Chains A and B, each alone.
Chain A
């Protein structure tokens, strides 16, 4: 078992005929993901890496039994693609697209709530359960199957952490990218709940960054509900106030959203916070030693 995606995932790729969609479909297939269909309006009937391409999501689902979607379409079409996948109740719907207007994300996320569909992103790297399924763009070769769950707002920092864990002999259950935009679907708290209930996950790494209060919300949830060891890293300790650091979500305003505040809140919740990304594996090992885990991490 893992969370969100695994062996049972039958993946649909929206925007499969584009530069990124085509390239990453190849890599997802290499990672043993069951990519069963693609959708590009206007390109139905063609094939990409032997995967059949359909005009609409509805047709693709009926023909292939697809049950999850990943979206690679350009920002101006991302809203429609997401609504189409959510209308067909694909779950999860993973939006890789960077640069989607925030109001479009608000509409997609609100609709997903009514349809009981989980959305990851926009502007995220997707979700990977190593050895079983890769949905999105995380570089597969960094992973090794194991028992550490990872949740992050940042794509590249996730890779950094996964590479460090693998190097240290700590395998991963599932790595989840939430997305770097101000409005995204699933939150840290949603993912922490899933990891807490997943018997394959023995410890959790939370990667955060400046801006908003999602990490503080996560800290409160951890203190009240999470029994597994948690290590964290927060990016942006040296970021100046009022400047938007790349991610539309990453801006400090006043005392709100500072790395210092997030780190203090997480530490108060019993989370081990690393100063450098490279410090995470050692911190986690220490916590795993102390934790009365039902099974030792085979990591």
Chain B
């Protein structure tokens, strides 16, 4: 793995080599992020070209230089958490090397699946059964079953949502993992303290997460805060329905505290170009009085429309009133007001 093209000279690898962009997105081959080189000079040129390019919006900071394999056939093998099956499912195909979504669309009959019993894992017999359906036989069938068992153990031990080898290549007498991808379960991060922070998040998204908030940056000018993913999603839809555009998705989560609410207001206001704030809270495990305390500690700097109802609603409304902040109970009215505020056609704190 190197970060500067000049480092190619210092590598002791057998040529020809393949130079691969190291990015956290799929489809790098198609984007030109994988190149073959016969000599060190050629490798340096290719590494220079790939380092610094952008693949699906992600800058390439590192490349892997590895001996090129003489590939006879390419397979796909993955374990993925399946919502309908409510467990892991093995997904395999003899049409490897391309995105599995493409295979699923064009030749679904080439995809083999098998549900995994979490109390058994993927025992050798199940691995062989999958391998047979891909056409493996003889010693290579056992080798495939071994790889499947180890990949499932990796999926489980690393708390992955997806553990994928693509392609799993036949090279000479062996099966080689040419490329792989892991998608990890954020909920299980506490069991894997050694992992570096995800590089996929923006600075604000990362900061929000450190406060237990779920924040996604969007394109519009109305900052949104709500509780519960479903409610916040429907709040974005509601703003769009009345002609407004949400600047973000922010879910303060179940059982949010006053401090969480205060942090949420601070974070959404940091994005440039915010013209209004829409707070839409329906208390369940979250209490309206906690939310109100967070709002009055550090009142919004931009015009705000607030809707606050549910658990401990009366106390929450009272805390806001005492601080001179009005809040409504009806979501549609509050959304309309937020849109009007973002256009500067309504004064703040009038309540819907």
Residues on A close to B: CB < 8 A? 19-20, 24, 27, 75-76, 96, 98-104, 106-107, 109-110, 123, 125, 137-139, 142, 152-157, 159-160, 163, 180-185, 187, 207, 209-210, 212-214, 217, 233, 235-240, 243-250, 254, 275-278
- Counting CB contacts under 8 A, is B90 at the interface? no
Say yes or no: A163 contacts B309, CB within 8 Å: yes
Alpha-carbon gap, A163 to B285, bound state (A): 16
Q: List 24 A-B contacts (CB under 8 A).
A: A20-B255, A75-B187, A96-B285, A100-B187, A101-B185, A102-B185, A103-B185, A106-B86, A110-B87, A110-B119, A125-B284, A155-B230, A155-B284, A157-B230, A157-B234, A182-B81, A182-B161, A213-B83, A245-B229, A245-B251, A246-B214, A246-B232, A248-B187, A250-B229
Alpha-carbon gap, A275 to B310, bound state (A): 23
Alpha-carbon gap, A139 to B316, bound state (A): 15
Say yes or no: B331 contacts A278, CB within 8 Å: yes
Alpha-carbon gap, A95 to B7, bound state (A): 53
Q: Which residues of A contact B251 (CB under 8 A)?
A: 245-246
- Counting CB contacts under 8 A, is B246 at the interface? yes
Q: Which residues of B contact A233 (CB under 8 A)?
A: 234
A156-B226, A156-B284 are known contacts. Are A183 and B232 too (CB-CB below 8 A)?
no
Identify which of A156, A183, A238, A275 contacts B83 (C-beta below 8 A). A183
Q: Which residues of A contact B194 (CB under 8 A)?
A: none
Chain B interface, >50% SS class: mixed
Chain B contributes a number of interface residues (CB within 8 A of A) equal to 51
Identify which of B101, B216, B255 contacts A245 (C-beta below 8 A). B216
Alpha-carbon gap, A243 to B219, bound state (A): 13
- Counting CB contacts under 8 A, is B179 at the interface? no
Identify which of A110, A125, A236, A277 contacts B86 (C-beta below 8 A). A110
Chain A proximity of B93: nearest CB distance (Å): 17
Closest to B186 in A: A248
Alpha-carbon gap, A31 to B2, bound state (A): 63
Chain A proximity of B339: nearest CB distance (Å): 14
Q: Which residues of B contact A152 (CB under 8 A)?
A: 230
Say yes or no: B216 contacts A101, CB within 8 Å: no
Chain A proximity of B249: nearest CB distance (Å): 6
Alpha-carbon gap, A221 to B233, bound state (A): 26
- Counting CB contacts under 8 A, is B332 at the interface? yes
